[in-house]
Amino acid sequence: MPCDIARACVAHARDLGLVYAALDFVVTPQGWTYLETNPNGEFGFVQALTDQPIAQAIADLLIHGRAGRNDTGIPSPHARM
């Protein structure tokens, strides 16, 4: 995902008052098209396919109340929150 779209997703979730959200997109040769925001979106299949610790990152965020950041300003999937 391009950094500008990722930043817009984070801002969108914050505007909605959400700590976590799953945003759906369609990606075509013409670019990214936003479809919807799911405040309780499922991510298990993405975690399994990408081997990213999504569930752990969400649990850490809920437990510790803050998100790790990388140099893009986007929460890091490997950060201890």
Q: Where are the domains of the chain?
A: 1-40, 42-81
What does the mean pLDDT of the chain come to? 81
Average confidence (pLDDT) over 27-34 = 96
pLDDT of residue 81: 34
Cβ(45)–Cβ(37) below 8 Å: no
**Rg of the chain's alpha carbons, rounded to an integer?**
13
pLDDT of residue 74: 57
Give Cα separations from 20 to 28, 29, 30, 31, 78 (angstroms): 25, 28, 28, 24, 16
Burial letters 21-54, b for 16+ CB under 10 A, else e? bbbeeeeeeeeeeeeeeeeeeebeeebeeeeeeb
Quickly tell me which residue has 């999504």 as its tokens: 54
